[in-house]
Amino acid sequence: MVNTHRVTTLQDALRYLDENDCYIVNGGTDAMVQHRSWAETPVAFPKDTLFIHDIKELNYIEAMPETFKIGGTCTYESLLFHPGCPKVLKACLELFASPGIRNTATLAGNIANASPAADGLLVLYALNAQIVLQSRNNKRILPVMDMITGLKKTARNKDELITEIVIPTTSFTHSYFKKIGGRKSDAISKVSFTGLARVESGIIKDIRLALGAVNITVVRRPEIEQDLIGKKVTDVISMISDIKARYEPHIKPIDDQRSTSRYRKTVAMNLIETFMKQLAQ
């Protein structure tokens, strides 16, 4: 029998985390499925469990000129309805699961689970999001790419809580989000793609490509992006096959019950091409 503890303040949460090795449940939409047992019996969490979803002080969205900040217990649905929500994140959220899930699922929970198919995570990679981790005596900020360390692994220490996600405000001329699930809604991604770019006077000033469900974590390659910055979009068209070839070694999807490796790879490559062509339009 595991012990459970519910907190409503950040201070209590951090104290509890400092004193206990525990499993954290936020909205619960993943945790309740992963550890479900027979219907009508309690969910079998792996160890003592801390419920944090009702920490009110983390349930906020703060749209500032420089940053868009999302508190650790803020749900997807409240993000979706926030007028300041970045366009590409909104596009992702509209296709995310279903209203019932969005009303409890949190972006912080999505990060903590570090699933390679998590659509929210993909967008955070593209937006250069920063993750705020707080413990009783410390606070640190990690870029999302450093936060995710492997398949379902993160850099979070066991006494830390994801308290905030910070998205730097950036304007893009091109914003593309594509989710390919088994059906049009209520589905887990087979492949997902985010492309963002700022093109001024035909020159690429900023470009970011992120691909989901094609490797153990989200794929983003800053070195390839760097080489495209400063190029003319008209020149990029002739480079598409070269760009695809550079991404190719990083696209290593699996065969599973939802799709095939070949399909995921082919579509990932097609999406890179589609996005590159959009730039020239």
Partner 1 sequence: MTETTFKLNGETRTVKGPHNQRFLDVLRRDFNLTAAKEGCGEGECGACSVLVDGKLINSCLLPLANVAGKTVLTLEGYRTTERYKMLENAFLKEGASQCGICTPGMIMASEYLLSHNKNPSDFEIRHALAGNLCRCTGYNMIIKAIKRAAKEGAALW
Partner 2 sequence: MLKTDISRSIDNVEGKEKISGSAKYISDYAIEGMYHAKTVRATIAHGNIKEIKLPHFPEGYDSVDYSDIPADNVVGMINDDWPVFAEQEVNHIGEPILLIVGPDKTKVAKLAQAVEIVYEEKTPVFDFKNSVKQLAFKKGNVKKAFQEAKQIIKHTYETGYQEQAYIEPQGFIGYPEDAGITLIGSIQCPYYVKNAVMRTMGLDEDNVRVKQAFVGGAFGGKEEFPSLMACQLAVAIQKIQKPIKFIYEREEDMEVTTKRHPSRTVMEAAIDASGRISAIRSHLSLDAGAYLGLSEVVLSRGMLAVTNAYTVNNLDVRGDVYRTHTVPNGAFRGFGAPQMIYAIEMFMHHVAKTLNQDPFAFRMAHLVKQGDLTATGGIFRDPIILRDMITHAVEASDYHAKVKKYNDPNIFKGIGMSWFLHGCGFTGSGEKDKIKAKVTLEKTKDDQVHILVAAVDMGQGAKTTLRKIVAGILELPIDVIVFDNPDTRFVPDSGPTVASRTAMIVGGLLARAAKTLKEDWITGESQTVSKRYEQPEYVAWDQEKMQGDAYPAYSWGVNIVEVEVDKTTYEVDIKDIWSVYDLGKALDENVVLGQADGGQAQGIGYGYLEVMRHDGGRIRQKNMTDYIIPTAADMAPSHNHIMDNPYPLGPYGAKGVGELTLVGGAPAVSLAIEQAISRPLRKIPATPELLMEAIEHD
Say whether residue 231 binds partner 2 (CB under 8 A). no
Specify the length of the chain in residues. 281
Question: What would you report as the CA-atom Rg of the chain, rounded to the nearest whole angstrom?
Answer: 19
* Interface pattern 250-269 for partner 2 (x via CB under 8 A): -------xxxx-xx--xx--
- Asked if residues 62 and 69 have their Cβ atoms less than 8 Å apart, the reply is yes
- Residue from 61, 63, 101, 216 in contact with partner 1 (CB under 8 A): 101
Is residue 278 within a helix (H) or strand (E), and if so which, with residue range? helix 261-279
Q: How far is the CB of 231 from partner 1 (least distance, A)?
A: 38
The listed partner (partner 2, partner 1, none) that binds 6, CB under 5 to 8 Å by sort, is partner 1
Question: What is the rounded distance in angstroms from the CA atom of residue 147 to the CA atom of residue 138?
Answer: 16
Which CB, 186 or 225, lies closer to partner 1?
186
- Asked if residues 272 and 243 have their Cβ atoms less than 8 Å apart, the reply is yes
Question: What is the rounded distance in angstroms from the CA atom of residue 131 to the CA atom of residue 128?
Answer: 10
- Residue from 39, 66, 171, 238 in contact with partner 1 (CB under 8 A): 39
Which CB, 26 or 259, lies closer to partner 2?
259
Which CB, 185 or 226, lies closer to partner 1?
185
Which CB, 186 or 273, lies closer to partner 1?
186
Say whether residue 202 binds partner 1 (CB under 8 A). no
For the chain, the distance separating the N- and C-terminal CA atoms, rounded to the nearest angstrom, is: 60
3-state secondary structure 29-61: CCHHHHCCCCCCCCCCCCCCEEECCCCHHHCCE
90 φ, ψ (degrees, to nearest 5) = -60, -45
What residue ranges bind partner 1 (CB under 8 A)? 2, 4, 6, 25, 27-29, 31-33, 36, 39-43, 45, 49, 51, 53-54, 77, 94, 97-101, 103-104, 184-186
What residue ranges bind partner 2 (CB under 8 A)? 37-42, 178, 180, 182-188, 191, 257-260, 262-263, 266-267, 270-271, 273-274
